[in-house]
Amino acid sequence: MAIINRIGEFHAEMKAWRRDIHRHPETAFEEQRTSEIVAGKLSEWGIDVHRGLAGTGVVGVLTGRRDNGRLIGLRADMDALHIQELNDFEHRSTHAGKMHACGHDGHTTMLLGAAKYLSETRNFDGKVAFIFQPAEENEGGANVMMREGLFEKFPVEAVYGLHNWPRLPVGEIALRTGPAMASFDIFEITVTGVGAHGAMPHLGIDPIVVGSQIVGALQTIASRRTNPIDSVTISVTQFHAGDTWNVIPEEAVIRGTTRCFRPDVQEQIERDIRRIAEGICGSQGAQMKMRYERRYPALVNSSDESKIAAAAAAKVVGADSIDSDADPIMGSEDFAFMLGAKPGCYILLGNGIQGEAGGVPVHNPHYDFNDEASVVGASYWATLVEHTLPIG
C-alpha cells in the first residue's frame, strides 16, 4: 500500500481522536460534542467552517493552491446507534444505551485526517467541502442537510462517501457502478378483529390468525410477484398482539421493512402489501389499516465518478486490491439522497476480517472500528482530492 507518509506520521493522533469520539457516542441530531470537536479541528487548521445544517452538521471548505471554480464534496457521518456496548476495552462507550456500532467514529476521524493533511499541503487546485453529517442511522440526516440548502450553499460538482466494511481485509476497497445499496422502506399493518375468550374463538375474529396469514403471504411478493432478476427483501420484524393467556385480542400490529433497487419495484411492493393485507382481512371479516413510508432511496453510483474513485483508490492500495464490480448490498444508506442530487461514488473500505465467520458485523454490541484502517481511508480521501483536482 502507498499510504501517504505524512498521514502515517499522525496516525497516533487520529487513533486518539477516534477513541475519544467512541467513548462519547451521540445519536441522531444530538451530535453536539462531536460537532464541536470537528469544527474546532477544522478551524485550527485554517479551514473555513460552516455550522447549523441539520442542527449539528458541519461543513469545512478548503481552497487549494488556486481557486479555479471547481468544488467537490467528501462526506462522513457522525452519529452513533441506540445499542448498549458490550466491549470491555478502555475506550468503550461511557453513555448507557449508545455506542458507535457502525464505525461512524472512524468515518469522522478519517475525513478529519484528510482535512489536516490537505490543509498542510494544499496540493490541489479548486476547493473541497468536508461534509460532516448527522443522523445517518434511520433519520435521513443527509436529506435534512439538503433540504436546508447544502448544495445551494456548497454547489459541488460531485460528492463522495465511504463506509468501513468488516468483511474486507484492511487495505482492500470495493465499489460498483450503478445501484450499489438498496432502498429502505417501512410498513405497519394494523389488523382489527373482534376480541373474545380464548375458549370461545368462534365468538370473535382472531387478529393473530389473520395477521399470521398476512406474514406468510407477504413472502410471495418476492417469490411470485417480482421479476426474479430484481432483488427484493420483505422482512416482518415485529408482531404485537395480546396481553394475557386466555383472551383473543382485538388488534394485532405487524411491522417490517422492504428493500429493493428500483423505484418502480418500490411502488409495486407497496401496492402488493396493501392488496394482500386487505384481501386476507376481508376474507376473515377483519379490518385493516396500513402505513407505508419511503425512508431512503437506492444508492446509485455514477459511472464517471466510480472510475475516478477507483483510480484514486488504486494509487493508495494498488489495483489488485480493488473490487470494482462488487455485489450490491441489500442494506441502505442515506448518502443515496446526495447521489440523487449530484454525481458521485460510495465505496466500501476494508476494516479487517477476524475469524472464519468474517468478524464482528456492524450494528453488533461488540463492534469496534479498526484503527489500522484509518490511515488507508484518510489517504484515499486525500488522494481522491489531489487526483480529481490536479494542480495546473
**Integer Cα distance of 139 and 55 in angstroms:** 13
pLDDT in tens, 201-235: 999 999 999 999 999 999 999 999 999 999 999 99
Domains of the chain: 5-182+298-388 (3.40.630.10), 185-296 (3.30.70.360)
Please report which confidence band the pLDDT of residue 10 belongs to, taking 50, 70 and 90 as the band edges: very high
**Integer Cα distance of 232 and 262 in angstroms:** 10
**Integer Cα distance of 389 and 118 in angstroms:** 12
* Entry pTM: 0.93
Average pLDDT over residues 301-312: 98
For residue 356, what pLDDT is reported? Answer: 42
Is residue 189 over pLDDT 90? yes
- Of 38-42, 226-230, 305-309, the one with minimum mean pLDDT is 226-230
- Residues 225-264, buried b or exposed e (16+ Cβ, 10 A)? ebeeeebbebebeebebeeeeeebbbbbbbbbbbbbbbee
Burial of residue 77, with CB atoms counted within 10 A of its CB: 0-12 exposed, 13-18 middle, 19 or more buried: buried
pLDDT in tens, 337-389: 999 999 999 999 999 875 544 468 999 999 999 999 999 999 999 999 999 99
For residue 357, what pLDDT is reported? Answer: 43
For residue 354, what pLDDT is reported? Answer: 59
User: Which residues, other chains included, contact 171 with Cβ-Cβ below 8 Å and sequence gap of 6+?
Assistant: 1, 317, 321, 350, 376
Q: Which long-range contacts (CB under 8 A, 24 or more apart) does 232-240 make?
A: 232/258, 232/259, 232/260, 232/265, 232/269, 233/182, 233/257, 233/258, 233/259, 233/260, 233/330, 234/258, 234/269, 234/273, 239/211, 239/215
Please report which confidence band the pLDDT of residue 138 belongs to, taking 50, 70 and 90 as the band edges: confident
